[in-house]
Amino acid sequence: YDPTDDIEAYALNASGVVNIIVFDPKGWALFRSFKAVKEKLDTRRGSNSELETAVKDLGKAVSYKGMYGDVAIVVYSGQYVENGVKKNF
């Protein structure tokens, strides 16, 4: 599976420029697990894509992972409030 197609389709329908993707930790783990994503990170083919797929910024709520093409990838692992209760991502 190649999630790039979904990203491009979303961008075509967005009302503005899509230049950042924010994942929760589970979404980030799934995204970086795709073979197609790993292949696009192979810079021998002339790509500027560079993501930190190993451990980085442990314990921080926000972690900048790098660029996937010209889109910044950020992982947010902080908290959100649902029905007045704080929950972790």
Q: How many CB atoms lie within 10 A of CB 72?
A: 13
Residue with tokens 């995204």: 31
DSSP alpha helix (H) spans, 1-89: 4-13, 25-33, 35-40
On whether the CB atoms of residues 72 and 17 are closer than 8 A, the answer is no
Q: Residue 54, Cα to own-chain centre: how many angstroms? A: 13
pLDDT tens profile 42-84: 666 666 777 777 767 777 788 899 889 889 999 998 888 899 9
On whether the CB atoms of residues 18 and 72 are closer than 8 A, the answer is no
Q: Is the domain defined by 4-8+18-88 classed in CATH 3.40.50.720?
A: no
pTM of the model: 0.79
Q: Quote the pLDDT of residue 82.
A: 92
What percent of the chain has pLDDT above 90? 53
Where are the domains positioned within the chain?
A: 4-8+18-88
What percent of the chain has pLDDT above 70? 91
Q: Quote the pLDDT of residue 43.
A: 64
Q: Helix, strand, or coil here: 12?
A: helix
